[in-house]
């Protein structure tokens, strides 16, 4: 069973902060109060961002009632970083996110951690992070909620699923990392374990509906990554992955004969990006082997491997303008790409068109200045794999061919 990390992590962070203050006092003579206050101001950094989007789809619901134009896409974040000494930094962010029916319109702790440098040398660094930590998955997951950090309004959905965003976004746990600096580039590796964040979106997606009961972590998740960055950071290559085990607790007295089943997930991404002064070429491949066990005769045991990949090109013709072209494909099971097998097994409850997505995206970004940015995006969709089951509970009403147009304004400080 999962270890209760949350209370342990809180205690660790408080002890680390206290020990840092003691270490500072032992390191030298006391300073005058005005100097100490100025030092605190220099060490503390505050930043934030806010964005508002509008979406229109020709069919299907995406981030709200998009067929009738949705404005239910808002993100507001406030983050702080406080370096207590050269080896210890505290950081956190509170995020308000409205994303149609996939969010509950409440501020959340996006991350809150202590970053500790354990040892360092001329060519290496080893550290650990403790708390709620952003998972290092793919090129974009750690900064996916900050609109300035990626070229489009939406990340490639066949790799970075917004419908199960919280499962892969962060975990409450411990993260160990090491960086090795070489003349030809940087190697970086990490290993983490912690409790994944499970919500109704995750339950509905992996159980194909809202079953009577609760889905939660069966044990701590494990995450690992290995990255290479060239010296000028033109080339980025990486592999990252996570192993998660979920356990379903059926509601007592439910009329549905659903057992206390488990869902085991291995989610990994291979990433590559090459940057020049005006061009960026990006591609990522995702595979997600999954196993369903013990749910009973209504949900027989099943194995499947979801798959997704994309190719993306961005061009900066002028310093403040950026164009983006992306093509992506995703499948609920790479052994059943057309979805016909699952449609037959579920007697048509899950139509074939719900198991795959092919998406062509055109995007435009305009950085007005350092604080303001505008984006516009058009997507052509074939299939419904990326759609949220919460926003679209009736699979039979899916439209296989549909269009999406979105605009977004963003501000940062």
For residue 15, being part of any structural domain is answered with no
For residue 118, being part of any structural domain is answered with yes
Q: Which residues lie across from 312 on neighbouring strands?
A: 282, 326
What is the model's pLDDT at position 181? 95
Q: How far is CA 53 from the centre of its chain?
A: 19
Cα 210 to Cα 185, 203, 214, 218, distances in angstroms:
48, 7, 9, 19
What is the model's pLDDT at position 38? 53
Boundaries of domain holding 59? 46-412
For residue 239, being part of any structural domain is answered with yes
What is the model's pLDDT at position 251? 86
What is the model's pLDDT at position 37? 52
What is the model's pLDDT at position 67? 97
pLDDT in tens, 19-50: 343 334 333 433 444 544 555 555 889 999 99
For residue 104, being part of any structural domain is answered with yes
Interatomic CA distance for residues 386 and 353, integer angstroms: 11
Interatomic CA distance for residues 262 and 215, integer angstroms: 9
Q: In this structure, what token pair is assigned to residue 260?
A: 């206390």
- Tell me the CA end-to-end span of the chain in Å, nearest whole number: 42
What is the model's pLDDT at position 4? 46
To which residue do tokens 């342990």 refer? Answer: 8
Interatomic CA distance for residues 268 and 225, integer angstroms: 9
Of 225, 222, 226, 264, residue with least CA distance to 247: 264
Mark the ranges of the chain whose per-residue pLDDT is less than 70: 1-42
pLDDT in tens, 116-172: 999 999 999 999 999 999 999 999 999 998 999 999 999 999 999 999 998 989 999
* CATH number of the domain within which 56 lies: 2.40.160.10
Q: In this structure, what token pair is assigned to residue 232?
A: 């000028």
For residue 283, being part of any structural domain is answered with yes
Provide the whole-model pTM. 0.87
36-50 CB burial, b ≥16 within 10 A, e <16: eeeeeeeeeeeeebb
For residue 186, being part of any structural domain is answered with yes
What is the model's pLDDT at position 30? 37
What is the model's pLDDT at position 42? 58
For residue 321, being part of any structural domain is answered with yes
> Domains in the chain: how many in total?
1
What is the model's pLDDT at position 40? 54
Q: In this structure, what token pair is assigned to residue 109?
A: 């702790």
For residue 9, being part of any structural domain is answered with no
């Amino acid at each position: 069973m999962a270890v209760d990390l949350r209370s342990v992590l809180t205690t660790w962070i408080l002890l680390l902060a206290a020990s840092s203050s003691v270490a500072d006092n032992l390191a030298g003579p006391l300073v005058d109060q005005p100097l100490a206050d100025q030092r605190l101001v220099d060490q503390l950094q505050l930043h934030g961002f806010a964005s508002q989007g509008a979406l229109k789809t020709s069919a299907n619901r995406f981030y709200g009632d998009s067929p009738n134009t949705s404005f239910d896409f808002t993100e507001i974040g406030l983050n702080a970083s406080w370096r207590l000494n050269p080896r210890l930094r505290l950081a956190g962010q509170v995020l308000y996110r409205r994303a149609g029916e996939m969010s509950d319109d409440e501020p959340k702790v996006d991350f809150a951690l202590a970053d500790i440098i354990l040892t360092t040398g001329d060519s290496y660094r080893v550290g650990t992070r403790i708390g709620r930590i952003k998972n290092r998955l793919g090129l974009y997951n750690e900064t996916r909620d900050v609109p300035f950090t990626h070229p489009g309004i939406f990340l490639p959905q066949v790799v970075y699923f917004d419908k199960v965003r919280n499962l892969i976004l962060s975990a409450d746990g411990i993260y160990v990392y090491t960086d090795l600096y070489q003349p030809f580039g940087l190697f970086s590796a990490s290993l983490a374990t912690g409790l994944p964040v499970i919500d109704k979106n995750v339950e509905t997606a992996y159980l194909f509906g809202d079953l009577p009961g609760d889905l939660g972590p069966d044990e701590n998740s494990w995450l690992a990554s290995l990255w290479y960055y060239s010296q000028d950071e033109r080339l980025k290559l990486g592999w990252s992955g996570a192993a998660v085990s979920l356990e379903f607790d059926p509601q007592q007295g439910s009329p549905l004969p659903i057992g206390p089943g488990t869902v085991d997930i291995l989610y990994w991404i291979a990433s590559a990006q090459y940057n020049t002064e005006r061009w960026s070429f990006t591609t990522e491949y995702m595979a997600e082997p999954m196993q369903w066990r013990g749910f009973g005769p209504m949900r027989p045991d099943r194995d499947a491997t979801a798959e997704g990949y994309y190719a993306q090109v961005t061009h900066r013709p002028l310093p403040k303008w950026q164009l983006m072209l992306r093509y992506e494909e995703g499948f609920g099971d790479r052994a059943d790409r057309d979805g016909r097998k699952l449609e037959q097994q579920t007697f048509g409850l899950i139509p074939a068109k719900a198991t795959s997505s092919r998406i062509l995206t055109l995007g435009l970004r305009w950085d007005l200045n350092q604080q303001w940015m505008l984006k516009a995006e058009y997507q052509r969709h074939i299939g419904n794999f990326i759609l949220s089951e919460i926003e679209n509970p009736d699979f039979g009403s899916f439209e296989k061919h549909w269009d999406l147009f979105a605009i977004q304004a963003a501000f940062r400080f």
